[in-house]
Each structure stands twice: as structure tokens, then as C-alpha cells.
């Protein structure tokens, strides 16, 4: 199983067969835990950090170092949103 197959199964098989609203409980398997808008980390390239900041409309100075950019990411990072969680919530279900 991988995240794409699980997402497809969720959309095609699980959601259509759930009564609304339902409570869905998932474990922490990697294919259940794909993060939306995943913030960059210390392993990310400076260009990837800048791209994330731009995508999230966060201002930064071009002369900032990677460490300074990561501090901005940390300040502006929100709670993790998981792809499957969003699909289920949009369909009226709880997790």
C-alpha cells in the first residue's frame, strides 16, 4: 500500500460507503500521514525554503541566510494538515 493507492481507495470506496457523519480512526501508517503544505526543514535547500515562503506569501529579505529563513518558516508554520484528514472532513466525517 502507498499513499496514492490509499487516497484512491478512500475516495472511491470508503467515503461513498460511510454514513454521514462517521468517525474514522486511522493509525500512523506512512500512507495515512501525507502532510499538506509540508514546511521545509534543515535538510531542505535554501531555494526550497524560499519557494515555501513565497507559496505561503511570507515576506523575507533576499540576503537572509538559510538559518534565518528557517526561523521564518518556524514562526509561520501552522499545525500539520493531513491529506486524508482533509478529504474526510470535506465529506462531513470526523477523525
pLDDT at 20: 83
Q: Single out the residue of 32, 23, 26 nearest to residue 93, CA to CA.
A: 23
78: pLDDT strictly greater than 90: no
User: Quick one: average pLDDT of 10-14?
Assistant: 96
Residues 6+ apart with CB under 8 A from 73: 39, 40, 49, 52, 53
Whether pTM exceeds 0.85: no
Amino acid at each position: 500500500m502507498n499513499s496514492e493507492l490509499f487516497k484512491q481507495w478512500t475516495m472511491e470506496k470508503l467515503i461513498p460507503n460511510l454514513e454521514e457523519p462517521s468517525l474514522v480512526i486511522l493509525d500512523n501508517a506512512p500512507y495515512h500521514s501525507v502532510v499538506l503544505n509540508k514546511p521545509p526543514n534543515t535538510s531542505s535547500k535554501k531555494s526550497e525554503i524560499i519557494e515555501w515562503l513565497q507559496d505561503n506569501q511570507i515576506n523575507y529579505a533576499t540576503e537572509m541566510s538559510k538559518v534565518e529563513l528557517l526561523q521564518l518558516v518556524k514562526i509561520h508554520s501552522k499545525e500539520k494538515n493531513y491529506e486524508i484528514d482533509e478529504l474526510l472532513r470535506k465529506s462531513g466525517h470526523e477523525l
